[in-house]
Amino acid sequence: MILADVVHFLAQLDERWERYDRWGEEAQQTYRAVLAFLLGLLPPASRLGTELVNSIWRQVPMTAVEVPVFRQTADGPAVWLARRKADEAYPGLLHCPGTLVWAEDRDLQATVARLGRREYGSEDAIRLLVDRPLEIVVAQEERGTMVSLLFVGYLTNDPPAEVGSWFLVADTATIGDDEIVPDHRDRLIPTAYQVWLRPGG
């Protein structure tokens, strides 16, 4: 396939086209070949952006690393919660920051370092208390299938106050579905918290 073939095929895609599953086999094969050609133009480990990632996500499961972080406060144990961005899933809701695993990540520590830099301002911000997932959960989301690897950790620095805040663990169970990602409240925080409570946590 050459670029001229792609341009010719894409030029035919307009509102008159029916759904993909109603196309003939030859048209479906051509369409898949066009998509493969275009994706092949991207260098390995490219930053794809939310829109393209979500499109791929509908076809291929994605893997995420979830790391609730805790600390002891004068009022009791607390967990860090941040607000989801407007262009993300569950926009505006509180959540325990996590991240997708990217092709460029050479190992778990690289993924955690990238999460620390993005959410807490430093690649060294997160310290894991375990080196194996507490849980591996496969969930069907609106975006597609998510494979979540749950860890637990603590922070080595004070996170930026403008992106989140510390919440008492005891209070998180009463936060409503319209304020927090339900799965984080009901599963991530309680599971990770029990490990954090262990001696040495």
Domain spans of the chain, in order of start:
3-41, 62-196
The CA distance from 195 to 153, in Å, is: 9
List pLDDT tens digits, range 53-99.
888 888 889 999 999 999 999 999 999 999 998 878 889 999 999 99
Confidence at residue 24, expressed as pLDDT on a 0 to 100 scale: 77
Q: Quick one: tokens of 159? A: 């996170």
Rounded to a whole number, what is the largest CA-CA distance in the chain? Answer: 67
The length of the chain in residues reads 201
Helix (H) or strand (E) holding 65: strand 62-66
The CA distance from 113 to 97, in Å, is: 13
| Cβ contacts of 145 within 8 Å, gap of 6 or more | 57, 61, 62, 138, 139
List pLDDT tens digits, range 92-120.
999 999 999 988 899 999 999 999 999 99
Task: Report the DSSP beta bridge partners of residue 140.
Answer: 145
Q: Quick one: tokens of 176? A: 């409503």
List pLDDT tens digits, range 154-190.
999 998 888 899 999 999 999 999 999 999 999 999 9
| Cβ contacts of 171 within 8 Å, gap of 6 or more | none
- Beta pairing class for 145-150 and 62-66: parallel
User: What topology does CATH give the domain 62-196?
Assistant: Nucleoside Triphosphate Pyrophosphohydrolase (3.90.79)
The CA distance from 10 to 8, in Å, is: 6
Task: Report the DSSP beta bridge partners of residue 12.
Answer: none
